[in-house]
Amino acid sequence: MRRRLALFALGAWMSGLAMPARASGGAKGGEIYVKLPTINVEYWDEAGIFHMVVVDAAVVFHEEGAKVDKSVGVLISHALSAMTWEEFSRGNPAATVKAIALDLVRKQPGAEKAVEVLLARLIIR
């Protein structure tokens, strides 16, 4: 677990260093990555089979000073729990999680300018 977190932090740090150099034509800086808390969602399908979804994600901002409240992970978990398993798994679960997470993150004060939500890990059991 610590190794994965260290690799994620290293990748985010290296990406942050590369972005200002690539966009040096008047850009004010690189991208800022803010890690969201781990999101766990439990489902029961129509056949009575238990499913669990675990998501680790990060929010991308183009400017410094952007904040994400840690309670947004709970809001995302509640929004995903409102769906049935069949609805969640019907399409692309990664796209569903990213869309819901970005929508809820942008509704938080101070996080209106979130560019994207990146999924570091999506485990479906």
Q: Check: CB of residue 54 under 8 Å from CB of residue 94.
A: no
Q: What is the pLDDT of residues 20-60, one digit of tens each?
A: 222 333 345 688 899 999 999 999 999 999 999 999 999 99
Q: Write down the residue that tokens 């890990």 correspond to.
A: 121
As given in the structure block, the two tokens for residue 104 are 């809820």
Name the pairing type of β-strands 39-44 and 32-35. Answer: unpaired
Name the residue among 12, 13, 15 with its Cα closest to residue 23: 15
Share of the chain above pLDDT 90, in %: 62
Q: Given this model, what pLDDT does residue 94 score? A: 95
DSSP H or E stretch at residue 16: helix 2-22
Residue 93 has pLDDT above 90, yes or no: yes
CATH class of 2-124: alpha beta
Q: What is the pLDDT of residues 10-19, one digit of tens each?
A: 455 444 432 3
As given in the structure block, the two tokens for residue 111 are 């996080």
Share of the chain above pLDDT 70, in %: 77
pLDDT, the chain, mean: 81
At CB < 8 A and 24+ separation, what contacts does 10-18 make? 12/58
As given in the structure block, the two tokens for residue 67 are 């904040």
